[in-house]
Amino acid sequence: MRFVIGCLLLAGLAFPQSRAGNSVYYPERGNWQKRSPEQAGLDARLLNEAIAFAKSKESTATRDLELGHYLSFGREPHGHAVGPFKPRGDITGVVVRNGYLVAEWGEPLRVDMTFSVTKSFLSTTVGLAFDKGLIRDLDEPVRRYVVEGQFDSEHNSKITWDHLLRQTSDWEGTSWGKPDWADRPPANLSEYVKRKRSDPGTTYKYNDARVNVLALAALHVWRKPLPQVLRELVMDPIGASNTWRWYGYENSWVNIDGVMMQSVSGGGHWGGGMYISAYDQARFGLFTLRRGMWKDRRLLSDKWFEEALTPTRPEPGYGFMNYFLNTGKRRLPEAPESSFMHLGAGQNMIYVDPEHDLVVVARWIDGQAMSEFVRRVLQSVLAKQ
């Protein structure tokens, strides 16, 4: 039985239909209506101060993201890059209230790496497969769907879709040349490699090799490239641009029904992942705020969002990848407990707040400043209530 914390049921409430009795606004493709902070119910002075704060807290890491890789993850065993990198742009952000574009700064049109926010797009493709019945039950072993060998061992044969989505699988093996133990290895690596595997579902570990196994499993279920699935069923319907790209690795090509397809990565740990603009990130954030609804179409089931926003037993601050929850207000003390974030290195943040009908994108902000930035934005909202 899945772990449910009652306070997170707030996230299941319907988003506000209107602050003034009007119908819900959804931006058209290429035409995102703007509102002043006052029109959207924010205090302009406080919002400008929040944005100024964000601009003053730009990440001090190098803008050369490939160099940054070799200064961090590249030092791990098997740390060589196998996917593309590109230099990043300026510190950037977008604020959306009640669906309207309220503020923007930096280079919101620029397509940049978004690192582990990619995982939220990956889990979306799994959710789409679940909705269409291609995956019958999230508690089913993945080995029933993938026969290529990734789930043959006694331990791996017990791993379910839910375990992979929550990063509780403790999957053992090598994914595209990257052993599971090579990602964020502990200091006692020799002992860690020899350890007894934890039963699936009992321990949490953020691990990109296992994320990439989920991407491969989803590819085998869909039998067509995941970027194509995402574009057709989500990104085009929500009016995203045609500028985003989702990359895999130079060695992550597989033969599906006689056609060579690239299995995409779930982040930029070794390069690749989702390259996307802040505007398109904000649209995706609005899609998750509206729990899969867009205009009069349901693109992803409400049941999927109930599962995605259910805390993971070994790590209650995490739902499905990459939904970072605010359980107990531990991550964002000043934000509602129903709020959540899609997070990636950089830092890349999509803050989603159903209680205030608010989406905030912040890119290349110092990770230590995210909570204070969110607090300041919320001050601008609360000042008008």
Report yes or no on 306 lying in a domain.
yes
- Indicate if 254 and 125 belong to the same structural domain: yes
First to last CA, the chain: 40
Confidence of residue 385 (pLDDT cuts 50, 70, 90): confident
pLDDT tens sequence across 30-42: 999 999 999 999 9
**What residues does 363 pair with on adjacent strands?**
92, 348
Alpha carbon distance 114, 277 (integer Å) = 9
- Across the range 152-179, mean pLDDT stands at 97
Over 80: is that where the pLDDT of 282 sits? yes
Alpha carbon distance 179, 313 (integer Å) = 25
Over 80: is that where the pLDDT of 283 sits? yes
- Indicate if 143 and 41 belong to the same structural domain: no
Return the half-sphere exposure (C-beta side, CA atoms, 13 A cut-off) of residue 3: 16
Q: What is the pLDDT of residue 384?
A: 86
- Indicate if 338 and 284 belong to the same structural domain: yes
**Residue of 249, 241, 173 whose CA lies nearest to 213:** 173
- Across the range 268-274, mean pLDDT stands at 97
Q: What is the pLDDT of residue 2?
A: 52
Alpha carbon distance 316, 168 (integer Å) = 12
Tell which of 213, 239, 264 closes a domain: 264
Return the half-sphere exposure (C-beta side, CA atoms, 13 A cut-off) of residue 335: 31
- Across the range 239-250, mean pLDDT stands at 98
- Indicate if 129 and 254 belong to the same structural domain: yes
- Indicate if 216 and 84 belong to the same structural domain: no
- Indicate if 279 and 260 belong to the same structural domain: no
Q: Lowest-pLDDT range, 13-17, 105-109, 302-306? A: 13-17
Q: What is the pLDDT of residue 148?
A: 81
3-state secondary structure of 267: coil
Tell which of 264, 282, 303 closes a domain: 264
- Indicate if 78 and 136 belong to the same structural domain: no
Report yes or no on 1 lying in a domain.
no
Residues making up the chain, counted from first to last: 385
- Indicate if 124 and 112 belong to the same structural domain: no
- Indicate if 216 and 320 belong to the same structural domain: no
Report yes or no on 324 lying in a domain.
yes
Alpha carbon distance 125, 127 (integer Å) = 5
- Indicate if 92 and 174 belong to the same structural domain: no
The CATH number for 253's domain is 3.40.710.10
Tell which of 264, 294, 320 closes a domain: 264
Confidence of residue 179 (pLDDT cuts 50, 70, 90): very high
- Across the range 292-296, mean pLDDT stands at 97
Q: What is the pLDDT of residue 174?
A: 96
Report yes or no on 321 lying in a domain.
yes
Q: What is the number of structural domains in the chain? A: 2
- Residue 324's identity, in one-letter code, is F
- Given the structure tokens 């570990």, which residue do they identify? 205
Confidence of residue 328 (pLDDT cuts 50, 70, 90): very high
Q: Say what percent of the chain tops pLDDT 90.
A: 90
The CATH number for 317's domain is 3.40.710
Query: ω before 347 within 30° of 0 (cis)?
Result: yes
pLDDT tens sequence across 216-227: 999 999 999 999
- Given the structure tokens 């919002």, which residue do they identify? 47
For residue 297, the enclosing domain spans 6-116+273-382
- Indicate if 148 and 190 belong to the same structural domain: yes
**Mean pLDDT of all residues in the chain?**
94
Residue pair 311/3 in contact by the 8 Å Cβ criterion: yes
- Indicate if 251 and 290 belong to the same structural domain: no
Residue 219's contacts (CB-CB under 8 Å, 6 or more residues apart) are: 225, 226, 254, 256, 261, 263, 264
